[in-house]
Amino acid sequence: AQRVTQPEKLLSVFKGAPVELKCNYSYSGSPELFWYVQYSRQRLQLLLRHISRESIKGFTADLNKGETSFHLKKPFAQEEDSAMYYCALGTSYGKLTFGQGTILTVHP
């Protein structure tokens, strides 16, 4: 069975501080991992996917198959990064299994 765990419901940092949102997954197949973000009063949107290996809005995430993790990192948080972040695991036909989400608050 697939499972995604985001251990932190809430995460608070100050502007300019590094931030790391944790994500662990359980899946017997070859995983496809994503981070989705929901800003206040906006719809859920894709932030990044592991196969593209891009840096989006300064965020990066590395898939660690040994630790079954896909943590999201940013070296210097900005106030506009405050949002709900969901880690998601994709199957072969595109079903997404989401974690419970982490609310990130960046204080000025």
Partner 1 sequence: ETGVTQSPTHLIKTRGQQVTLRCSSQSGHNTVSWYQQALGQGPQFIFQYYREEENGRGNFPPRFSGLQFPNYSSELNVNALELDDSALYLCASSLETGTGEQYFGPGTRLTVT
Closer residue to partner 1 (CB): 20 or 32: 32
Closer residue to partner 1 (CB): 94 or 108: 94
CB of residue 45 vs partner 1: minimum separation in angstroms?
7
**Gap between the Cα atoms of 99 and 58, Å rounded:** 22
Closer residue to partner 1 (CB): 19 or 102: 102
CB of residue 17 vs partner 1: minimum separation in angstroms?
26
Closer residue to partner 1 (CB): 66 or 92: 92
| Helix, strand, coil percent values for the chain (each to nearest 5) | 5, 50, 50
CB of residue 108 vs partner 1: minimum separation in angstroms?
27
Question: Which residues make up the interface to partner 1 (CB under 8 A)?
Answer: 4, 32, 34, 43-46, 49, 86, 88-101
From residue 106, alpha-carbon distances to 10, 23, 41, 49, 78 in Å are 11, 19, 17, 23, 6
In the beta sheet, which residues pair with residue 48?
35
Q: Which residue has the tokens 């931030």?
A: 19
CB of residue 53 vs partner 1: minimum separation in angstroms?
14
